[in-house]
Amino acid sequence: MWATKRICNTQRQWIKLKEGRLHGCILLKCQQFRTGVLNYSSLKTIRFKSTCSIFWGKDEQMIMDMIATVNAEGVKIASGKGPKEQCDEKQHILKEKMKHLNLSFAACGFLGIYHLGAAAAFYRHGEKLLKVVKAFAGASAGSLVATVLLTAPEKIEDCKEFTYNFAEETRKLDFGAVTPGYDFMKRLRGGIESILPSDAHEIAGNRLYVSITNTKNGENYLVSNFACREDLIKVLLASSFVPIYAGIKAVEYKGEKWIDGGLTNGLPILPVGRTVTISPFSGRLDICPQDKGHVDLYVKVAKQDLMLSVANLIRLNQALFPPSQKKMESLFQNGFDDAVHFLLKENWFK
């Protein structure tokens, strides 16, 4: 009787799992739940609440052990399926999603150095993951890193050095990138042209999705077909063009004018399969900084669910006005470490 009451109390207090992460209180609830099951094995109904897009973190083993214990004790799920069947069904769903995996890099300006750190980790330790990735997507700086990872991953180190130099050059200007006479887009184009291989547009065809915004109607488009290398470069420049900050004249492509895709869709989620999300901003994402000690309040910015925190406000400023060289190096390492953690968690590490 005690166990029944305990289970019911735990059931009522169960906090819904949030997409891409586990609530900080779940460990206590799992322990209470497990204790009740071990003490009262003949219970007939226990209902598990979850979202359809959970990606387990370091607490995975505890939850899987809990399911195994329930199965051993012969407890039945209210839906009529036993724990084994439910677990098998979940694994089947995950396997199906793994057949079509995508990577998406968020818009973030100079914080793209974080993306380069993550890309370096994928290139060095994520061979198993990259072999099954069907598509790469991104906005603004995220689209640049997605392009490099797809078409020229061996150039990631060169991209890192270019970003450090670009940031240093911008810091020396009186008003940063908006200093009169400074051609931000020309400098960026030079970097892109020096990195991308001659056949980049062919490699990227139907595998790279770049977020851009049409100036006429304000609508977002994901471009995935590129007739030539120059078209690819124009689309990447358009995705990175922040009005006023990067210049006055929008980028022309196919007879129309385009600006930063991060303004309308800062983190493209592709419709087929699972899209792994990467961002230097803390939020509901697969790979991102894990800010601690904050109330879980989120705000949706250009289709990104970002944590409302002082740290993210500081990052937003750093995206437009690059921090010191030391901080940039730290951001690169943070991106690398967070991506490695993800690879280990998802069993993709090699």
Establish if 2 belongs to a structural domain: no
Q: Are 136 and 203 in contact (CB under 8 A)?
A: no
Domains in the chain: how many in total?
1
Residue 189: domain span: 97-346
> Is 140 one of the catalytic residues?
yes
In a domain? residue 6: no
Within-domain flag for 85 = no
- Cα separation of 135 and 205, whole Å? 10
Burial letters for 59-96: b for 16+ Cβ neighbours within 10 Å, e otherwise?
Answer: eeeebeebeebbbeeebebeeeeebeebbeeeeeeeee
Active site annotation includes 296:
no
Residue 247 lies in a domain: yes
Q: Is residue 69 part of a domain?
A: no
Q: In the beta sheet, which residues pair with residue 252?
A: 257
Dihedral of CA atoms 41, 42, 43, 48 in degrees, nearest 10, equals 50
**70 is a domain residue:** no
Domain of residue 105, CATH code: 3.40.1090
User: Quick check: is 222 in a domain?
Assistant: yes
| Selection from 112, 107, 148 nearest residue 130 by Cα | 148
Burial label for 340, CB within 10 Å (0-12, 13-18, 19+), is buried
The single residue of 104, 140, 239, 279 carrying the catalytic annotation is 140
Please tell me which residue in 260, 286, 305, 338 is annotated as part of the active site: 260
104 phi, psi to nearest 5 deg: -130, 130
Has residue 14 been placed in a domain?
Answer: no
Three-state DSSP state, 77:
strand
Start-end of H helices in the chain: 2-13, 26-39, 60-72, 83-98, 112-125, 127-132, 141-151, 156-172, 184-195, 200-204, 229-239, 310-320, 325-345
pLDDT by residue, tens only, the chain of 350 residues: 444 444 344 444 433 333 333 333 333 433 443 444 334 333 333 333 333 232 334 344 433 443 343 344 333 333 345 555 665 665 555 555 567 899 999 999 999 999 999 999 999 999 999 999 999 999 999 999 999 999 999 999 999 999 999 999 999 999 999 999 999 999 999 999 999 999 999 999 999 999 999 999 999 999 999 999 999 999 999 999 999 999 999 999 999 999 999 999 999 999 999 999 999 999 889 999 988 755 677 778 777 778 888 888 999 999 999 999 999 999 999 999 999 999 999 999 98
Element (H, E) at 256: strand 256-260
Alpha carbons 139 and 105: distance in angstroms, whole number = 7
Joined together, the tokens standing for residue 24 give 């900080």
CA–CA gap between residue 262 and residue 248 (Å, rounded): 17
Number of helices (H) and strands (E), helices first, in the chain?
A: 13, 9
